Structure 1
Amino acid sequence: MDRHVGPGGRPLRVALFSGNYNYVKDGANQALNRLVGRMLVRGDVIPRVYSPVSTTPAFPPTGDLVAVPSVAIPGRAEYRLGLGLFGAARADLEAFAPDVVHLSAPDLLGHRAKRWAREHRLPVVASVHTRFETYGDYYRLGWLRERAERLLQRFYRDLDEIYAPTEGMARVLVEGGFSERVRIWSRGVDHALFHPGRRDMAWRRSLGIDDSAFVIGFVGRLVLEKGLDVVAAAAQALTAMGISHRLLIVGDGPARERFVSEVPQALFTGFLTGEALARAYASFDLFLNPSITETFGNVTLEAMACAVPVVAADAVGSSSLVADGVSGRLVPPGDAAAFAVAIAAYAADPALRAAHGRAGLALAANHEWDRVNDAVIDRYPLLVAATSQKR
């Protein structure tokens, strides 16, 4: 594709700012890498990424990545905090001379990039990947939530556009006073990688799981904000109800040791990627996602693409994906007893699991990466044109 839309007929230049582009693997940075990859394929947009970096990145970055000054976050050393936009990173940005600035986190780097863009009278957009205002609830800092919401409102409110992954999250942003200029940037799934054919009973047996066992899967970083307490409490409730099950945990993180003590009978695989991750999803009998902090449930969508029914919290991250009573169940957030009851129904009814798995697979087919990424990329030239008219 050769649609040159920048000034003078050249490709449009987009500076993308990220708090974590590739040094830790999560749904947010995988979406950003996919977006940059689509820009490169199209050819009408030249991306350049500015982010903290690590000497041991989780995966190779897509496109050109420029390191910004950063420090490890105390207590969460796997994450880094960008200190701002100065020195070599700022000089590189000046030389790149972007037409659009795209922010992906309301951190110090994002604030400095926003200020730089305003000084240069450029359109500024942001994509919303995480509900940061909810994090304090998991670390006994709930009293900070109101202040965090005010700071986020101040960050997002005057941007040219912000992109939410679901209609539900868009409503949260509008009704919460974050912005009225909200558009949808959904997420896709790699259907060539995640599909039901990855199911592997031999792999389950290698973990000591009987073919007849009912396997509940969880995928994610082992951090408190993923709802690990709910996973543990639901598993304990199932045991008390006499529901035979195996809990299979895919992922790792700083809360692993604590989590292991809470679910001592669970199997832990550590981090998995690529075909190994897809095999794990497809080998579950049910996928459990109690998290309420994500703006989009990437893991939920990947499980659906593998024809696995989902029991998830009725929150913005999953409610726009899971059709309650059709492809899974949506449960009141934090209600471990309700999670256990929903899971028990699937444990008792293999036909229900199969039917809801097929329904989830059909729904996942609507999520294609190229289409959803084009929805964002096609906004850039319109914003550049609108900004030019205001000058």
Structure 2
Amino acid sequence: MLAESFLPHMNGVTGSVLHVLRHLADAGHETLVIAPKAGDIEADLHGAQTALLRSVPLPSYPEVRVVFARAAHLTEILRSFAPDVVHLASPFVLGWQGLAAADALRIPTVAVYQTDVIAYAEKYGMPRATALVSSHIARLHRRATVTLAPSAASMRQLSDLGVDRLRLWGRGVDAERFSPLRRSETWREQIADGRTVIGYVGRLAPEKQVADLAALAGIPGTRLVIVGDGPSRAGLEASIPDAAFLGHLTGAALAEAMAGFDVFVHPGESETFGQTIQEALASGVPVVATGVGGPVDLVRSSIDGWLYRPGDLDDMRRRVEDLVGDPAKRIAFGAAARDAMTDRSWARTVDRLTGHYRQAIRLRAMDDSLLVRGTQRPDPAEHVEPPQSWRRFVALGDSLTEGLCDSSRMNAGEYRGWADRLAQLLAHGQNGPFRYANLAVRSRRVADLVEQQVPAALALRPDLVSILIGANDLVGTAVDPAALAARVEGAVRRLREAGADVLLVTTFLPPRRAAKLFARRFGEYNVHLRRIADQTGARLVDIEPQPAMRESAMWADDRVHLRSGGHRFLAYRAAAALGVPDAVELADLDAVLHSEEDEPANPSGWFTRDALPWVWRRLRGRTAGDGLSAKHDGYVVIGRGEVRTETRTG
């Protein structure tokens, strides 16, 4: 095991290494740890040998040490130990040198992605270094035999960097140490004097965004407790003077503190996983965390905690206040949290890890039989499948999927839309006919999707279904985004159970000041859509965070719908999510070919032309879609150079 960080400095990487050492030893494996030498080690290494190398402290963060070892020296260490596999724990500098040494000896490597150093470079104000760091991470993980990522978000991040052979491997949690049984009323009385405890555990450094916790100051009847140490501690103590800073805790003291919290808050947006979140959940403590990255895989919003919109500190405070003010909800969320951790023991997690080791050994042997990594034959154990070929595509949704305002090269009163464009892209290159139906109708809501569109789609027996819906619900009154998303989840599961692949698209708002009134709702709803995609295996087109969607040129004169350029953008993003080759390049070409259509929007007359009719319909309980039927309620056949309606029988 080559560990970029190790004892006596304790962090997530070091903690994971120690747990893995213990369970590898229990299973009878022999282990050598190669790591920076930073001081005396008193912890039990469970029989592991060590090769601790000279290191230098990182200037801005002396607890982190960097090893500049020669690859030749590492090669000799590895040759002497003769390992079956080299485990790279959060590799960066030492990990790259270890990769070179392992390659020289033809030893398989398993790289564990645990630290988002790309985001760290941004947080520490090194924008020029970000591109170099990103390139280095991509090269390193592409060179490793197998890369293990801890969450769906980090899997997507690495895939976008061109990393292949990705496997999902989370972290275990010590459910015996972190348990509700560790809760001590004596500790709570000493720390909070009977108040509700809002807690945080982790490194006190800029990338953890602990300063965001200042937004929780002044919540009546609460005490903010911060456990951890790091370069930001002095500044945080000055900016959050009413908080209790307990410093770095370990063992029983840490478990007692964690169980003593009433609410755990995790503000970091660059987490690949979130080990302290798991430890809080195992302690029976509900969690409020940012709805991005690793926390999305761990926190089940409205079940064992809340995910808040990234960067929205008002939303974070509201989520915390919701739990602070409702002891019964805290108890229910805490019980659900504890139950969810029972299957995440370190023993089971390390069992899965050794399975990845065995696969890496098989893959390395295959690589060595070929001259070029990129041309290897697929290993049957990987269950590699060829690119998906869909023949029956059905689009569901509202006016956006109907194609409203996309009049590009269409007859008067007719519209194309992103789904029509996507169907053309999917049909291109097919040997046989490609069938496409579009059941979307303007003004439709989630209830219409569930009760009408999904049953109609199932009758068509599609192998691909797209869903983009929810905006019309979210701009209404008394909306529960979680309940709304739950209905969408039911629809997705029905389609998946019927054998269809599902393309799920996040909702998005126009770049208007008034739209900010609904931003929190849309953000929460989209957090659920991302979770639904992860849990059901649906393909996700995450449009909400795309900077292009904040450009006025994407939006039609009515300030609500996409114009042709916006529909093209969405179509090609969807095509990329479905694996259409060269989708990004095709998008650029298409934009050039249609440049004469992409004139700036003309909002003049908007109030009388668009706003007043909408208000009048609302007052009368009507919608723009009343009396309208779907564009294509049956299949049209898209072939080479033709589009024709298919006659249905029976």
TM-score between the two structures when normalised by the length of structure 2: 0.54
Report what 2:174 is aligned to.
190
* Distance in 2, Cα, partners of 1:310 & 1:383: 36
* Distance in 1, Cα, partners of 2:100 & 2:178: 40
Report what 1:8 is aligned to.
none
Counterpart contact for 1:217–1:249, Cα < 8 Å: yes
Report what 1:377 is aligned to.
354
The letter of the residue matching 1:223 is: A
Report what 1:122 is aligned to.
107
Report what 1:4 is aligned to.
none
Counterpart contact for 2:91–2:112, Cα < 8 Å: no
The letter of the residue matching 1:38 is: H
Report what 2:401 is aligned to.
none
Helix, strand or coil for the counterpart of 1:378? helix
Shift in Å at residue 330 of structure 1? 0.5
* Distance in 2, Cα, partners of 1:147 & 1:374: 35
- The count of corresponding residues between Structure 1 and Structure 2 is 367
Counterpart contact for 1:243–1:344, Cα < 8 Å: no
Counterpart contact for 2:273–2:295, Cα < 8 Å: yes
Report what 2:337 is aligned to.
360
Shift in Å at residue 303 of structure 1? 0.5
* Distance in 2, Cα, partners of 1:36 & 1:371: 14
Deviations 1:6-49 (A, max 9, x none): xxxxxxxxxx1111122211122111221122221111x32211
* CA separation of 1:117 and 1:329: change in aligned 2, threshold 3 A: same
Report what 2:92 is aligned to.
107
1:51 alignment partner, one of 24, 29, 35: 35
1:156 alignment partner, one of 141, 151, 157: 141
Deviations 1:351-389 (A, max 9, x none): 111111111111111211111111111222333234335
Shift in Å at residue 258 of structure 1? 0.3
Deviations 1:85-123 (A, max 9, x none): 467654332211222222123322211111111122222
* Distance in 2, Cα, partners of 1:138 & 1:243: 32
Helix, strand or coil for the counterpart of 1:125? strand
Report what 2:81 is aligned to.
96
The letter of the residue matching 2:244 is: L
Deviations 1:205-232 (A, max 9, x none): 223x222x12100101111111112112
Shift in Å at residue 295 of structure 1? 1.4
Report what 1:170 is aligned to.
155
Shift in Å at residue 167 of structure 1? 2.8
Helix, strand or coil for the counterpart of 2:30? strand
Shift in Å at residue 57 of structure 1? 4.3
* Distance in 1, Cα, partners of 2:17 & 2:40: 19
Helix, strand or coil for the counterpart of 1:316? coil
The root-mean-square deviation of aligned C-alpha atoms, in Å, is 1.9
Counterpart contact for 1:25–1:58, Cα < 8 Å: no
* Distance in 1, Cα, partners of 2:251 & 2:36: 24
**Residue 217 in structure 1 maps to residue 199 in structure 2:** yes
Helix, strand or coil for the counterpart of 2:245? strand
Report what 1:229 is aligned to.
211
Deviations 1:174-205 (A, max 9, x none): 2x224121112211111111111111111122
Deviations 1:222-278 (A, max 9, x none): 11111112112x224xx2xx5332101111122111000011001111111111111
1:199 alignment partner, one of 183, 197, 216: 183
**Residue 21 in structure 1 maps to residue 6 in structure 2:** yes
Calculate percent identity across the aligned residue pairs.
32
* Distance in 1, Cα, partners of 2:360 & 2:321: 50
* Distance in 2, Cα, partners of 1:22 & 1:29: 7
* Distance in 2, Cα, partners of 1:30 & 1:384: 25
Helix, strand or coil for the counterpart of 1:157? helix
* Distance in 1, Cα, partners of 2:87 & 2:212: 35
The letter of the residue matching 1:96 is: F
The letter of the residue matching 1:248 is: V
Q: Which moved more, 1:159-168 or 1:261-270?
A: 159-168
* Distance in 2, Cα, partners of 1:310 & 1:276: 20
* Distance in 1, Cα, partners of 2:101 & 2:2: 12
Counterpart contact for 1:22–1:29, Cα < 8 Å: yes
Deviations 1:271-327 (A, max 9, x none): 111111111111111000011222111100111111111000112221101001111
Deviations 1:30-87 (A, max 9, x none): 11221122221111x3221100022244844442111123111112111110112467
Counterpart contact for 2:22–2:45, Cα < 8 Å: no
Counterpart contact for 2:306–2:319, Cα < 8 Å: yes
Helix, strand or coil for the counterpart of 2:298? coil
Q: Structure 1: any 5+ residue segments left out of the alignment?
A: 1-15
Report what 2:241 is aligned to.
264
Larger Rg: 2
Highest RCO, 1 vs 2 (Cα 8 Å, sep ≥ 6): 1
* Distance in 2, Cα, partners of 1:58 & 1:328: 37
* CA separation of 1:294 and 1:59: change in aligned 2, threshold 3 A: farther
Counterpart contact for 2:21–2:45, Cα < 8 Å: no
* Distance in 2, Cα, partners of 1:126 & 1:377: 13
1:279 alignment partner, one of 256, 259, 276: 256
* CA separation of 1:127 and 1:58: change in aligned 2, threshold 3 A: farther
Helix, strand or coil for the counterpart of 2:130? helix
Counterpart contact for 2:75–2:104, Cα < 8 Å: no
**Residue 342 in structure 1 maps to residue 319 in structure 2:** yes
Shift in Å at residue 159 of structure 1? 1.9
